[in-house]
């Protein structure tokens, strides 16, 4: 079965060449409004033919949890019964959807729950598009866009699913579709350097975020296996290339882990690493996932940020949302899979 949301509008016109031309746009719109076949206003015989070959709704809401702060966490079910997570964050500058790019993840970062059971498979471009459609529709009118920003910061490594993510970027920014501005999209990577170069050449004006989480290669290797493949210097050189090509400010994510990456020497090294690069450091308090890594206190994190600022580094502490509903990466899915076992 083919997934209809995997097609661009032009591709859909070709794919459905047997039907009148306007059907393609009708189906394209139905995808964004998460309609099912019964809601499609087309002749019964056409509908039955389509239903035999295609999936119109590849993503369904399996479970929703709402936090005290309004954050909503979704477990979404794919057509092969795999489950992914998605988070809807209410913010005063516009609501944000944080979505997954893979079922699980194979990057093996020690602090991250998404990677605990490895990577099951990539999400297709259409599954990612339908993720946005389903979550948007659940937060307002179906024929309106109920979000401003999208961050690829859920489960999975976007650059390990490079082609589908690029295709999704084309779909989500399509003027005929959600028409999301590239500036409202952020992509976070643990640092697949070759892909950063490849992606920079496409000149999408999105915000590229790097999960740095350490200031020396030795420390980074202890928490992020990708550090065995690329040094911090090689990775930051790639970010500089990206910033040069796109003119965009890049973002470093720095998850504070007690006695691992929160020393005064780390602050000085962060200052050196970020020098000469138009960037911002997002400091995050570790959300402990049951492993040996420990979080710092919020006061320690605030002091870390203040010292960075005093040293001329643009940095803020990321507000934690939805921690009462397993808001951090992969936690809810991991918990649910354990229960189902
Ligand atoms: N694979 C990509 C996309 C995931 S984004 C990447 O590594 O960037 C998820 C962000 O949340 C990353 O910065 C990740 O490092 C961070 N994160 C993962 N687990 C976390 C935890 N337990 N506490 C706080 N942040 C976490």
pLDDT score of 168 more than 60: yes
Average pLDDT of 209-232? 98
Mean per-residue pLDDT of the chain: 94
Residues 90 and 322: their CA atoms lie apart, in Å, by: 10
The pTM of the whole model exceeds 0.85: yes
Q: Report CA Rg, the chain.
A: 21
% pLDDT > 70, the chain = 94
Tokens of 113: 């729950």
Positions marked catalytic: 85, 329
3-state secondary structure 61-80: EEEEEECCCCCEEEEEEECC
- To test the ligand 1 pocket, which listed residue (220, 229, 284, 286) has its Cβ within 8 A of the most ligand atoms? 284
Average pLDDT of 219-247? 97
Q: How far is the CA of 225 from the centre of ligand 1 (A)?
A: 14
Q: How far is the CA of 105 from the centre of ligand 1 (A)?
A: 11
Q: Pick the residue with more confidence: 250 or 70?
A: 250
% pLDDT > 90, the chain = 87
Domains in the chain, please, with CATH? 58-340 (3.20.20.70)
- To test the ligand 1 pocket, which listed residue (188, 250, 335) has its Cβ within 8 A of the most ligand atoms? 188
Closest CA to 247 of 209, 188, 203: 203
Residues 310 and 319: their CA atoms lie apart, in Å, by: 20
C-beta of 112 in contact with ligand 1 (< 6 A): yes
Query: DSSP strand E in 149-268: where?
Result: 149-152, 185-189, 207-211, 250-256
Please report the pLDDT score of residue 22 as a whole number.
94
Please report the pLDDT score of residue 320 as a whole number.
73
Q: What is the pLDDT of residues 145-165, one digit of tens each?
A: 999 999 999 999 999 999 999
Q: How far is the CA of 252 from the centre of ligand 1 (A)?
A: 11
């Amino acid at each position: 079965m083919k997934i209809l949301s995997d097609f661009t509008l032009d591709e859909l016109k070709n794919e459905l060449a047997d039907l009148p031309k306007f059907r393609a746009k009708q189906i394209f719109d139905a995808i964004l409004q998460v309609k099912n076949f019964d809601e499609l206003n087309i002749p019964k015989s056409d509908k039955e033919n389509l239903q035999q070959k295609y999936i119109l709704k590849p993503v369904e809401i399996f479970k929703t949890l709402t936090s005290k702060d309004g954050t909503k966490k979704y477990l979404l079910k794919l057509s092969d019964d795999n489950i992914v997570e998605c988070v809807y964050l209410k913010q005063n500058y516009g609501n944000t959807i944080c979505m997954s790019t893979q079922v699980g993840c194979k990057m093996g970062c020690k602090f991250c729950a998404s990677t605990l059971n490895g990577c099951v498979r990539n999400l297709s471009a259409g599954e990612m598009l339908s993720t946005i459609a389903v979550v948007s529709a659940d937060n307002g009118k179906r024929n309106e866009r109920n979000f401003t920003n999208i961050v690829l910061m859920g489960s999975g490594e976007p650059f390990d699913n490079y082609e589908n993510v690029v295709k999704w970027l084309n779909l989500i920014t399509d003027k005929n579709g959600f028409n999301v501005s590239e500036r409202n999209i952020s992509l976070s990577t643990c640092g697949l350097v070759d892909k950063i170069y490849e992606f920079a050449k496409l000149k999408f004006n999105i915000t590229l975020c790097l999960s740095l989480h350490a200031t020396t290669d030795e420390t980074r290797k202890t928490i992020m296996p990708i550090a065995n493949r690329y040094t911090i210097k090689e990775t930051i050189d790639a970010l500089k290339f990206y910033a040069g090509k796109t003119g965009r400010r890049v973002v470093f994510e720095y998850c504070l882990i007690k006695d691992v990456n929160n020393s005064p020497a780390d602050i000085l090294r962060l200052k050196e690493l970020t020098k000469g690069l138009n960037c911002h450091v997002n400091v995050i308090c570790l959300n402990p996932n049951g492993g040996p890594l420990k979080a710092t206190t919020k006061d320690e994190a605030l002091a870390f940020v203040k010292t960075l600022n005093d040293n001329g580094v643009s940095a803020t502490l990321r507000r934690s949302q939805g921690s009462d509903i397993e808001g951090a990466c992969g936690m809810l899915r991991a918990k649910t899979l354990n229960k189902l076992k």
